[in-house]
């Protein structure tokens, strides 16, 4: 008997299971159960779950914004309290920007070589993916 119920329940959808459970639980109920009761109940459950997920996402976004504000505040305070560190950091940023502009200039002088190299690299990656993935 139990194995038959388990087999029958494995073949039914969640809506059918809920309808059957309600039919068994409400035999003495005098009012008829509306036809779309299960759909309404499942919709309410889904909406409740969606609201819970949305609330969690909103909390995570607020925490990330608060973290960004805190890091920015700490950086400003550190720059005011330790001006030598801020000056060193600024000099390093300027050097980085200068080196990047030199690198862009060097690459622009040899654009044909870099274009051919990028094409060969793209073909090698494509070939490797095709070899590993195959026809599947």
Whole-number average pLDDT of the chain: 83
pLDDT at 120: 95
Residue 36 has pLDDT above 50, yes or no: yes
Residue 53 has pLDDT above 70, yes or no: yes
pLDDT at 2: 45
pTM above the 0.85 mark?
no
Q: How far apart are CA 21 and CA 12, in angstroms?
A: 12
pLDDT at 30: 65
Q: How does residue 110 score in pLDDT terms, banded at 50, 70 and 90? A: confident
Tokens of 94: 């300027």
The answer to whether residues 68 and 60 touch, using CB atoms and an 8 Å cutoff, is no
Residue 109 has pLDDT above 50, yes or no: yes
Tokens of 50: 């969606």
């Amino acid at each position: 008997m139990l194995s038959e119920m388990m087999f029958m329940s494995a073949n039914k959808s969640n809506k059918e299971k809920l309808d059957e459970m309600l039919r068994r639980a409400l035999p003495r109920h005098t009012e008829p159960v509306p036809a779309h009761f299960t759909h309404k109940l499942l919709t309410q459950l889904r909406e409740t779950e969606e609201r819970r997920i949305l609330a969690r996402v909103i909390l995570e976004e607020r925490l990330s914004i608060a973290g960004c504000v805190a890091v920015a505040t700490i950086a400003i305070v550190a720059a005011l309290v330790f001006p030598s560190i801020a000056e060193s950091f600024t000099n390093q940023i300027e050097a980085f920007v200068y080196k990047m502009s030199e690198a862009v200039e060097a690459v622009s002088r040899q654009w044909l070589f870099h274009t051919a190299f990028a094409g060969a690299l793209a073909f090698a990656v494509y070939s490797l993916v095709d070899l590993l993935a195959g026809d599947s």
